[in-house]
A and B are shown apart, each in its own frame.
Chain A
């Protein structure tokens, strides 16, 4: 066999065209001292802290598949590609990217990765951190960096990929992303089981079955999605027929159960009313049930709702916000503060004016500050989005 047939020669060094253009923009923004707001589809702009930027760079138009060889179960796409498009393209090959962040499905891959967003499927498949193989980034120093690679295993060099996942674009603008895909399971069925958080966790911990997702929903959320008016565990089972049948039998012993359509998951992702405040609490999995009970009490008082990824110890609390008055803000401050007191709390959404007062900045430890200094020394990229002082 001749040497050339091994594969098309991939130029691993070449920066994408758009990255080169972006690098110029970052360079001039830096020279002019103009901070930039990096935007994907623009659907999730209310998430995260307010950003002190004068100009916006949108990557929404920079969409499309760069490389997709189904046999490799890997895919490389431009950052602006929407999750919905990715789902459509991969489903045609019997595959999927098991990432289901909350919010609009027309959110982009870039935004999902930049914010490190994950949904119920993280229970079995992890978060973007576990699924991204490599990425192209335009750093705040206007360098085009191609981190990681396109193969499923890669330890060459320091891990710049992980560094940029969940960095909210403050170290670089993500322009291209490679992810690992999974084959769609033979069967994919979802069941709603009425069960307490403690019993649900006990089953998940000890069961030989590993559901693709197991999300506990508060009665309010259950009612909203019309699956019942008690706390309900939504369990998504994947695998061959015998496996799913076995899991269903095991689940049935847990409480009243019924099958629900898969669209339930999309409904859950889109369930939160626009403008809500969202706080994500987390703890060690064995303490999730206790956290759930305490968080539920607060959420109920706020007439909000909550759902929990039990195996990950994550409880996501949704607090409705009505109006923009001082009184409402004072009420919110109280509620969010009460939730924060329960343990590790990450605030996803909040009225802009409330952030600095009640949410501590992220990435302000000395090492993180040095990371920022190395890649965005002039704070050109999404300044303020991590809560760092101006």
Chain B
């Protein structure tokens, strides 16, 4: 039997951490840390020096205070479903928070819940269901991802088109700062005066500390839901249908597009949803709200789709069919594992009117670099998820995939868009930050980070390129 052994200093840390969380919850050996080397974007690997997994709020505080005392960097991690490499801990402590799974309270009257960060997104909606409520942000990974992770990434999801992203659903949270201080951000019982530190914390990708508990808003289940599936013989026609619907003032709960290759991958998986496999694109459109008037809107949506050239439009006839149509969409990313041994997923956003041109540009890039791109995205938001399947054992193909991704990203930025709509920067999108933001803006981000974490120990090396912070701090005189 073999096992790697720790350097002496880490052995001392191991003992002190074990005294807090118990021996079983401190991982040090290569065989045990292996699975924590990556998140939902498995192209990247980084070995943590040690993994620690507190089970209670007090343990979490004690662990972070110990790390602060020792001046040690750490990386928070929820369920490890992130798609930007944000939870990778390169030679530092990995702080797993997935064991903090208590739903502390559900307040049906005020439609909110107080939860620990490790509560799984879908589990919260399940717990709220008896009250006719649900948690609105629904990232595709909702059956696995945690609320803490959602807060760190400001996660979105298909239904964010109407209901907004995580930012719009968090009322307050208790943050544990990297120095061990515990502070309340936001106000669950009314308005807040002063700086929106809650807004700054949400989406900070674990660089500002960790959430110990989060008060989230719960949404009422809509009285009526209509789910429509429209299929098109061109991506362009589908994109035009999206524009027409939006321009008419109809706000669907969700409006999702999938292209032909994605449809085929989904239909070959166990989540086959009955999508037409010969379509160039499908639109999955959901309307919800009061029963009165919903059919009128559904009829108009169907008409817009037909006018744009849809071959067919069908409406889910029952909740089971609706669930099946959605399963296909939500599991699309995984279903692509079927077509290629490895996969990268991008998360670019362009102004909605640029969608047709952007899709054409992606197709052009794919042809130029000879890569397979599947497009599945939140069409209503202009949030694209080009997925590129490839064989990571081939250096040549990997290089082409990387070049294609970079070209797509640059095109999105040039079109007035952004490099990530909901997955976060992590390490994957770090190289594109310089093209999106000026040095002064990146410097301001560094300054904000320093407010929460002056020692820069929380999730080091993520979100903002190191050089911008160095420059910001190296030349303060240049700015005064």
Contact = CB atoms under 8 A, between A and B. Distances in A.
Determine whether A and B are in direct contact in the complex, meaning some CB atoms lie less than 8 angstroms apart: yes
A313 interface: yes
B437 A363 contact: no
B361 A3 contact: yes
B357 A6 contact: yes
Nearest to B155: A155
B459 to A, nearest CB: 12
Contacts of A313: 189-190
Interface string B418-444: 111111110001000101111011111
By size class, the interface of chain A is: 35 or more
Given A142-B480, A186-B249, A153 B203 contact: no
B259 interface: no
A3 B291 contact: no
A282 interface: yes
B130 interface: no
Interface string B190-231: 110111110110111001100000000000001110000000
Given A13-B437, A129-B199, A162-B196, A374 B448 contact: yes
A191 to B, nearest CB: 16
B199 A143 contact: no
Interface stretch (A70-78, A213-221, A328-336): A70-78
Nearest to A183: B249
Nearest to B208: A158
B381 interface: yes
Interface string A274-287: 00000011111110
A243 B290 contact: yes
Contacts of A30: 480
B437 A146 contact: yes
Output the residue of A6, A149, A156 with the most chain B CB within 10 A: A156
A175 interface: no
A242 B437 CA distance: 46
Contacts of B249: 94, 182-186
Contacts of B457: none
Interface of B: 109-111, 153-154, 156, 160, 164-165, 167-168, 183, 187-191, 193-197, 199-200, 202-204, 207-208, 222-224, 243, 246-251, 289-297, 349-354, 357-358, 360-361, 364, 378, 381-383, 411, 413-425, 429, 433, 435-438, 440-445, 447-452, 463-464, 479-480
Interface of A: 1, 3, 5-10, 12-13, 15, 27, 30-31, 69-74, 94, 116, 126, 129-130, 139, 141-147, 149-160, 162-163, 165-167, 171, 182-186, 205, 208-210, 239-247, 280-286, 313-314, 343-344, 346, 362-365, 367-368, 370-371, 374-375, 386
15 contacts: A6-B354, A7-B351, A12-B416, A71-B352, A73-B352, A147-B444, A149-B418, A149-B436, A153-B349, A155-B423, A158-B208, A160-B448, A183-B247, A208-B292, A374-B447
